[in-house]
Structure 1
Amino acid sequence: MATEKILCIGDLEAAASKILPVSTRDFYNSGSTNQVTVRENSTAYNKYRILPRVLKDVSQVNTSTTLFDRNIKFPLCVAPAGLQAMAHPDGELATSRACARVGVHMGVSSYANHSVEQITSAGTEIGPIHHVMQLYSMTDREKEARIVRRAEASGCKAIFLTADSPVLGVRYNEWRSGFQAPLGLGYPMIEKTTEQIQQESHDEVFSSFNSDSHSWAREIPWLRSITNMEIWIKGVLTPEDVEMAIEYGCDGVIISNHGGRQLDETPATIDVPLLAQRLREAESESISTGASGLVATSSKRWHWERSVVGSYNGQKGVELMLEVLYNEFKRCMQLTGCKSVSEIRSSSLGIVRSDGPLARL
């Protein structure tokens, strides 16, 4: 039998989908209610066009950029995504090693199946990358503080406070299937054993620790009082919330609709106006090609890619995903005449208009 040839992210997703059980695949791929936002996170890119430049010397193209005071290979890092051990037993450990091998940073989910200590060690033993810790506002402040302290002691650079989840989004596929984490998988960061998880639905696990009384005034000063890590706000989609992040002295925002898994019919992040010009970095989700990465970078957005494709050969699958995206991104830079990330501009893009010819962005 011929070896399966993986040329693009679509090939990798298709190969991974053959391996994953239906309930696992649905958990990774599905969003809330009618999944309008899930679809538009990808289809929104279809209206953008990249404008090539010719006779440019791009023989010495440099794709690297700086994030958290450290160079990374290109403007992409891996998102904090939970339950990665459903895809492969190594889960977040494989992802961390792959990120270190390629040279990009990684986010760690509170729903990780391995501890932050294990995850950070797995990566930093291979290469000098940074990790960040995703965090929910919790009713048990001491438990939340333990997560923060463990993350800081493990060398994490920042807290990514998930701010768009006072309650869990309505995910019909999970409700229909009665989704639970498989037996044998625990959530060490939120201190839930596999036996405890088996007694609750996924919604009940979340509501058992999450606080719906969170607020700017309650969360940010308290976090500042217990950690020296940077504090970023994850889940921002409006200018008003960017201004609030500035007012409370946050170090950054993550422009994100939670992958369409929280409130449905929110805008695709690429279509949100440039909210974060006064902050240092921002995020765009659901980029699946290097060309899309160029579109997002020209809009001053950074992307943290979910790595469920790790089900395809674990660490090697994640490395393959990152290398595919890197090679496509580099080639797009060359074909648009950009020798460095700083040369990528919105003038490199056009947008399809229904009422006339292509408009320059």
Structure 2
Amino acid sequence: MTAPVSADDRPIIRIEDWEALAEQTLPKGAFDYVHSGAGAEETLRKNERAFQQWDLLPKILTNVENVNLGINLLNRQLPTPLLLAPVGFQTVVHPEGELASARSAAGLGIPYITSTVSSFSLEDISAVMENVPRYFQLYWPNDEEVAASFVTRAEAAGYDAIVLTVDTALLGWREKDLQNRYFPMQTGAGTANFVTDPVFQQKYNPSGLLTQEELTAEIKKILLNQSLTWEKIAWLRQQTSLPILLKGIIHTEDGKKAVAYGADGIIVSNHGGRQLDGVRSSLNALPFISKEIQGEIPILFDSGIRRGPDILKAIALGADAVIIGRPYVYGLTLGQAGVTAVLTNLLHDLETSLALTGTASLSDIDGSLIARTGNSQ
């Protein structure tokens, strides 16, 4: 693959340059939707800055001739610890949207998490993933029959897990989107899983005559569920034999509850700073949760990862795998080639960084590799 180049004919390597390209290329509403956080964006900034509060402690004179980035997750061997986050509405960034991102992920053996609010159906996205794992992220609709239909469809389409987002009872106070009067679904993006769902169509569009604007209004009525509680995990378990991961865990007690209620994994995440502003960074929540439940169920991590050393720090603090979101979406500005370039650069950075810690295998990373900045070894 030829690396995408900038206006001055240099390869685009730095994530900041991909971000700048997206800002220059996309309409303001679309860019702000991807880039911004909730409120004053305190948590958005915390997520990235938290990595600066931890130091890597490399060890020298070790054999790192053959570096292995592989992990085992949910009984599948994966070539890297990366997964792609369930970012919705991707056609506001590029016409091929989620299909381009999923094809890129499949080419690199990286699991892709399909959003409920994708602009292509979960079946179409699954079809491009070949034999690479894919997970379906569920925004639990305020209609259990539609929720059950989504999960049934995901299982039939070959998905490997259900990722239930649990931090979105309603949308956060996103000031830039409000200022721009922008919500991607108004463009028709993010509706594919609803308009292709037989239960949704039967209940909300039985005549099949609703306009796009009318369909969007019906979807928005049931998109989120403010009555969702822990007890519903048992109901979800009855709908599927797939593993269930809970995304949006920040409080240690919720990590313990996830185990008690039978979750198969958790994702330590504050939604990339897009929900409740002022909450703890995901990275600083991770070691507390890991201390309580590590080894009982897999712990995945997202929010703030931008480079290889960030991934090493998250794994050293207890993550079994990591999820990235905004970086690959910035790459999507240039379609599949852009996503692949972002991911390839990140993996090269990770491989280099791992070797420079004096560690040949990612599975050997542990807490001895890391210390709070300013603390003695």
Q: TM over 0.5, yes or no?
A: yes
Q: Give the alignment's TM-score, normalised by structure 1.
A: 0.91
Q: 5+ residue gaps in structure 2?
A: 1-6, 201-209
- 1:1-361 matches, within 5 Å, as 2-124=8-130, 128-181=131-184, 183-191=187-195, 195-196=212-213, 206-217=220-231, 219-272=232-285, 273-275=287-289, 276-277=293-294, 278-301=296-319, 302-306=321-325, 307-353=328-374, 358-360=375-377
State the shift of 1:55 in Å: 1.1
Assess if the C-alpha contact under 8 Å between 1:274 and 1:299 holds in 2: no
Assess if the C-alpha contact under 8 Å between 2:88 and 2:190 holds in 1: no
Distance 1:199 1:325, change over 3 A: closer
Aligned residue pairs total 349
State the shift of 1:186 in Å: 4.6
Distance 1:197 1:129, change over 3 A: farther
State the shift of 1:286 in Å: 1.8
**Inter-partner Cα distance in structure 2 for 1:341 and 1:131:** 22
**Inter-partner Cα distance in structure 1 for 2:311 and 2:173:** 29
Assess if the C-alpha contact under 8 Å between 1:252 and 1:280 holds in 2: yes
Which stretch shifts more, 54-63 or 3-12?
3-12
Assess if the C-alpha contact under 8 Å between 1:184 and 1:194 holds in 2: no
State the shift of 1:359 in Å: 3.1
- 1:190 partner SS: helix
Assess if the C-alpha contact under 8 Å between 1:87 and 1:308 holds in 2: yes
Assess if the C-alpha contact under 8 Å between 2:137 and 2:163 holds in 1: yes
- 2:301 partner SS: coil
Assess if the C-alpha contact under 8 Å between 1:32 and 1:171 holds in 2: yes
**Inter-partner Cα distance in structure 1 for 2:223 and 2:332:** 29
CA offsets 1:36-76 (integer angstroms, 9 cap, x no match): 00111101111222222211110011111122322222111
State the shift of 1:205 in Å: 5.5
**Inter-partner Cα distance in structure 2 for 1:233 and 1:158:** 11
Assess if the C-alpha contact under 8 Å between 1:95 and 1:310 holds in 2: no
**Inter-partner Cα distance in structure 2 for 1:108 and 1:199:** 19
Q: 5+ residue gaps in structure 1?
A: none
Percentage identity across aligned positions?
33
| Equivalent residue letter for 2:213 | Q
| Equivalent residue letter for 2:162 | I
**Inter-partner Cα distance in structure 2 for 1:268 and 1:55:** 34
- 1:113 partner SS: coil
State the shift of 1:185 in Å: 2.9
Distance 1:95 1:224, change over 3 A: same
- 2:110 partner SS: coil
- 1:53 partner SS: coil
- 1:210 partner SS: coil
**Inter-partner Cα distance in structure 2 for 1:2 and 1:33:** 36
**Inter-partner Cα distance in structure 2 for 1:244 and 1:69:** 23
